[in-house]
Amino acid sequence: MMEKEAVILCAEKEIEIRFSEVDMMGVVWHGSYAAYLEDAREAFGARYGLSYGKYIEENIFAPIVELNFSYHKPLRYGMKPVVRITYRPTAAAKLIFDYEIVADGEVFLKATSVQVFMDRDYQLLWDAPAFFLEWKKEMGLL
Amino acid sequence: MMEKEAVILCAEKEIEIRFSEVDMMGVVWHGSYAAYLEDAREAFGARYGLSYGKYIEENIFAPIVELNFSYHKPLRYGMKPVVRITYRPTAAAKLIFDYEIVADGEVFLKATSVQVFMDRDYQLLWDAPAFFLEWKKEMGLL
Amino acid sequence: MMEKEAVILCAEKEIEIRFSEVDMMGVVWHGSYAAYLEDAREAFGARYGLSYGKYIEENIFAPIVELNFSYHKPLRYGMKPVVRITYRPTAAAKLIFDYEIVADGEVFLKATSVQVFMDRDYQLLWDAPAFFLEWKKEMGLL
Amino acid sequence: MMEKEAVILCAEKEIEIRFSEVDMMGVVWHGSYAAYLEDAREAFGARYGLSYGKYIEENIFAPIVELNFSYHKPLRYGMKPVVRITYRPTAAAKLIFDYEIVADGEVFLKATSVQVFMDRDYQLLWDAPAFFLEWKKEMGLL
């Protein structure tokens, strides 16, 4: 079934940059951003009812299989950036998110993550699990 | 039973300081040291047959309940310090380790950790588990 | 000069436990708490005008020289604990904070940190810097 | 000038997976891999004389601007994987590395990083700095 492209699901999360996330160069260490994106996925899940607890309950993993970062400008200690997460519609049994970290009207980072669904034995599910299709319907994506 | 004080069990582990562990001030962030001590406990376990896998097998947790750091001098990127871990004999159902991080003949950190034993339901074991007493005997501590 | 004991300076900070801070045992890894305490120190600084930027401006470091953790109960993913930070008055040229992490009316962690003052060459200042004494006066501590 | 494609520069680094890098699911948290790649870049730099200290000395930054991870299989605690880093020749003023994390003959992760050169004011250098071209010549790449 086609996804309805008009529906845009997105969320925002303000990042509090930790001193421990900043490197010797005085900028946020590139590896620290993975946690910011995870914060954004949680904010998305909280907003749209797709929480981590839901997966646990359904005995489903949704591990990240692709993660791409494009660093535009370095974040510094004391900044108050916002990470925006947007659901990217796909017919595949995948969960794809696009991210932007923005501060003072400028883009600091763009990123994309791809998650798949696995059962408890870490076997890939070729079809999206029922609870996820249900969620898509509720969201007006199907 | 009294522990034999003459037996000294210790191990050493060279630390490779990561760029990501150094803060804006150019020194290792104080919170990064917890991982160095954990590396030392692993080195100790590997040397004396008290590995993490052993606990898993026995369905026992040994969570840290006390952790005390005394920072003497700051470690810097590029240094090759060694962390020394020493088992501190105790009659209690506890696992106590003392640590020293040393570089160029100088002490940079002293620390102590205290672990207790718990079962899978996170209930404290007032008596040390059998496998641990066995280990103590093998080590000549009992 | 004696500090006035009646003045109590404290702040609170809600912790958002990150998935990445939780370990294989399903509880917050003991080393993750150092960042929570740092968050609390920032909240304290923001509330009472003793920010990190202030130190930078004055060319002063305030490195942690002692850090003691007492873990009472393990935090788990999904909890919404609060860390309370309290300034401990001292006549010494030190900054001492006591911490408590509390959730659902129960104490999960108690901790204490001690900071000293250093100049840009990492030389210990035996007397507290002028800006800090000024701050103490403003706070009614002197 | 064309780079000579026949020259292959690569290095290897054994990873010691830390307990703190493993998540609730019992696998290495996806964000932990950034440090493994950094370890590999250090090993590469140490082998071929392109160390972090060299950049500092030349007042040059080489920040990461692109970082792409493709997770094939999850690493678990206790594994002893190796990360292989390979220099990817390019005529651009960039530093491109490809990575593979391998254990027991299987690929667990593939990744690519792209670094650019910046001066101390974080201004992009459109031409590679002299010391880097010199290094390329020494390596037989130019």
> Which chain B residues are closer than 8 Å to D53 by Cβ?
78
Q: Please report the pLDDT score of residue C58 as a whole number.
A: 87
Handedness of CA C49, C50, C53, C56 (dihedral sign): positive
The predicted-structure confidence for A95-122, as pLDDT tens digits, reads as follows 999 999 999 999 999 999 999 999 988 8
Q: How many CB pairs under 8 A join C and D?
A: 26
Distances (CA, A) of C81 to A37, A123, C36, C76, C105: 22, 35, 10, 10, 10
Q: Chains touching chain A at 3 or more Cβ pairs under 8 angstroms?
A: B, C, D
Could you tell me how many residues make up chain B? 142
Whether A98 contacts A109, CB under 8 Å: no
Q: Does D66 touch chain A (CB under 8 A)?
A: yes
Mean pLDDT of B26-44: 97
Alpha-carbon distance of A51 to B102, in angstroms, equals: 45
B60, C23, C77, D20, D21 from D79: Cα distances, Å: 21, 17, 25, 14, 12
Cα first-last separation, chain A: 7
B21 DSSP assignment: G
CA distance linking residue D30 with residue D18, whole number of Å: 13
Amino acid (1-letter code) at residue B119: D
CA distances from A74 to A28, A109, D69, D77 (A): 7, 8, 20, 32
Among candidates C20, C35, C38 on the partner chain, residue whose Cβ is nearest the Cβ of A38: C20
Task: Pull the structure tokens for residue B137.
Answer: 């005997």
* B79-83: average pLDDT: 96
Main-chain dihedrals φ then ψ at residue C129, nearest 5 degrees: -65, 155
Residue B32: list chain A partners with CB under 8 A: 20
Q: Where are the domains of chain B?
A: 10-138
The pLDDT mean for chain D works out to 93
Low-confidence ranges of chain C (pLDDT < 50): none
Across the interface, whether the CB atoms of C31 and B30 are under 8 A apart is answered no
Taking residues D7-32, report their average pLDDT: 95
Query: How many Å lie between the alpha carbon of A61 and the closest alpha carbon of chain B?
Result: 23
Question: Distance between CA atoms of C68 and D31, rounded to whole angstroms?
Answer: 28
DSSP structure string for D94-136: EEEEEEEEEETTEEEEEEEEEEE-B-TT-PBPSS--HHHHHHH
Spatial separation of the C-alpha atoms in residues C31 and D78, rounded to whole Å: 20
SS3 at position D3: coil
**Would you state the pLDDT for residue B5?**
59
CB contacts, 8 Å: D74 with chain A = 63, 122
Instruction: Give B 26-45 residues with CB within 8 A of chain A.
Output: 26, 29, 31-32
Q: How far is CA B23 from CA A23, B20, B27, B76, C42, in A?
A: 5, 8, 6, 10, 16
Per-residue pLDDT band at B51 (split at 50, 70, 90) = confident
Q: Are A96 and A88 in contact (CB under 8 A)?
A: yes
For D46-97, the pLDDT digits (tens) are 999 997 778 888 889 999 999 999 999 999 998 999 999 999 999 999 999 9
How much is the average pLDDT of D106-133? 94
Give the 3-state secondary structure percentages of chain D, helix then strand then coil, rounded to 5. Answer: 25, 35, 40
What average pLDDT does the structure give for chain B?
A: 93
Residue ranges for chain A with pLDDT beneath 50: none
CB atoms C63 and B69 under 8 Å: no
Q: Using an 8 Å Cβ cutoff, are A27 and D27 in contact?
A: no
Look at residue C38 and give its three-state secondary structure: helix
SS3 B22: strand
Structure confidence at residue C2 (pLDDT)? 55
Q: HSE of D45 in the Cβ direction (CA atoms, 13 Å)?
A: 16
User: Taking a C-beta distance cutoff of 8 angstroms, is the pair D53, D115 a contact?
Assistant: no
Residue B135: HSE in the Cβ half-sphere, 13 Å Cα cutoff: 18
**pLDDT at C5 (0 to 100):** 59
The pLDDT-based confidence of B137 (bands split at 50, 70, 90) is very high
Q: What's this model's pTM, rounded to 2 decimal places?
A: 0.94
d(CA D142, CA D139): 8
Asked whether the predicted pLDDT for residue D7 surpasses 90, the reply is no
pLDDT digits (tens, 9 = 90+) for B88-101: 999 999 999 999 99
Model ipTM? 0.93
Q: Do A122 and D74 touch (CB under 8 A)?
A: yes
Give the pLDDT band of residue B55 (cuts 50, 70, 90).
confident
Interchain CB contacts (distance < 8 Å): A and D: 52
Question: What is residue C4's predicted lDDT score, i.e. its pLDDT?
Answer: 56
**Between D36 and B52, residue with greater pLDDT:** D36
Q: CA D4, CA B126: separation in Å to the nearest integer? A: 68
Residues 6+ apart with CB under 8 A from A136: A3, A128, A142
Is CATH 3.10.129.10 the classification given to domain A10-138? Answer: yes
SS3 call for B131: helix
Note the pLDDT of residue A4. Answer: 56
What is the SS3 string spanning chain A? CCCCCCCCCEEEEECCCCHHHECCCCEECHHHHHHHHHHHHHHHHHHHCCCHHHHHHCCCECCEEEEEEEECCCCECCCCCEEEEEECCCCCCEEEEEEEEEECCEEEEEEEEEEECECCCCCECCCCCHHHHHHHHHCCCC
Backbone dihedral angles phi then psi of residue D57, each to the nearest 5 degrees: -55, -35
Question: Is residue A6 less than 8 Å (CB to CB) from chain B?
Answer: no
